[in-house]
Amino acid sequence: LRHNGRHKPKIESKDSTMTLRCIQQPHQHLNAKLENGILTLAIHRPEAKNALYGELYLWIAQALDEADQSSQVRVVILRGADADFSAGNDMKDFMSFIQKPYQGKAGDQPPFVLLKSAAKLSKPLIVAVKGVAIGIGVTILLHADIVYADNTALFQIPFVSLGLSPEGAASRLLVKQAGYHRAAELLFTAKKFNAEIAEKAGLVNQISDDVYALAEQTAQQLAALPLASIRQSKALMKHDLDEIVQCVDDEAEIFMQRVRSPEMKEAVQAFMEKRKPDFSQFG
């Protein structure tokens, strides 16, 4: 899968009845099922706790883009296939990435393409979280409409501890949803937190013993409702969408600057040497 630098891959039609590529050409790490208007995308990379990498980011983004245009899809569910949602960016892939120069806009890099696709989806996006949700595994929740988690869910926004900065309009959306003080605590400390704290922070709608079944049940309810009314309601609620997408791009530029920072280099070196990073040398 190649990304041509634009946000959205080419779509055949604005009201496409074509078979979705994620169904027609399954990806080894993404299970896709379309049934009764519900597109379920399940990340399936259990050996890496569903960590994401360049091609997989773009594949999920393309699935969301095509779902948005397809008359066959009324609701999208994003989840893990098994016991985890996503451990975030694959570290080996990330280490390889930061050693290579990139060209063009930072916002055209695969993680940010996925986040913008999620933000722009005009149909309901339901996310079900089991196990780990780290980094972009948390950030993408800010662009979902409904999020369910179970008591195994463990969240973390680790960017500051890696010498990085927030991504995906988190500096805007997390403050809006959680309030400044709670957002500051979660972003600054980079600590892990459970489903109960995530619910209090507005990241999760409901904690359930069977989040996959609950997500399916809610999707069925939404699929039976007038899609035009839901899309219009979502458009009204997300009236600041252009500003959110711009914020994703703005944060991406800062994020990519931080990737080259000495603090990031120290975090990577400490990871390789299996020690705690020492940031005391930096102002």
**Residue range 120-157, pLDDT digits in tens:** 999 999 999 999 999 999 999 999 999 999 999 999 99
Q: How does DSSP assign 46-84, residue by residue?
A: GGGTT-B-HHHHHHHHHHHHHHHHBTT-SEEEEEESSS-
Q: Which pLDDT band holds residue 18 (cuts at 50, 70, 90)?
A: low
End-to-end, the C-alpha distance of the chain in Å comes to 41
The phi, psi pair for 278, rounded to 5°, reads: -115, 105
Cα 164 to Cα 33: distance, rounded to the nearest angstrom: 35
**Three-class SS state of 193:** strand
Cα 150 to Cα 207: distance, rounded to the nearest angstrom: 5
Q: What is the pLDDT of residues 210-267, one digit of tens each?
A: 999 999 999 999 999 999 999 999 999 999 999 999 999 999 999 999 998 999 999 9
Q: Contact at 8 Å (CB) between 87 and 51? A: yes
Please report, rounded to a whole number, the percentage of residues in the chain having pLDDT higher than 90. 84
Q: What is the pLDDT of residues 158-202, one digit of tens each?
A: 999 999 999 999 999 999 999 999 999 999 999 999 999 999 999
Q: What is the pLDDT of residues 242-256, one digit of tens each?
A: 999 999 999 999 999
Residues with Cβ < 8 Å from 237, sequence gap 6 or more?
Answer: none
Cα 277 to Cα 97: distance, rounded to the nearest angstrom: 21
Give the pLDDT of residue 54: 95
Q: Which pLDDT band holds residue 2 (cuts at 50, 70, 90)?
A: very low
Give the pLDDT of residue 209: 97
In the chain, which ranges are continuous DSSP H helix? 21-24, 54-69, 91-98, 110-120, 136-139, 170-178, 180-189, 195-200, 211-223, 227-237, 241-259, 262-273
pLDDT at 84 over 50: yes
| Inter-CA distances, 202 with 63, 144, 282, Å | 26, 11, 34
Question: Which has the higher per-residue pLDDT, 8 or 223?
Answer: 223
255-80-105 Cα angle (round to 5): 25
Q: Which pLDDT band holds residue 30 (cuts at 50, 70, 90)?
A: very high
Query: Which structure tokens are listed for 192?
Result: 């892990």
Q: Contact at 8 Å (CB) between 109 and 127? A: no
Cα 246 to Cα 281: distance, rounded to the nearest angstrom: 34
Task: State the burial class of residue 227 (Cβ atoms within 10 Å of its Cβ: 0-12, 13-18, 19+).
Answer: middle
pLDDT at 16 over 70: no
Query: Which structure tokens are listed for 117?
Result: 């696709």
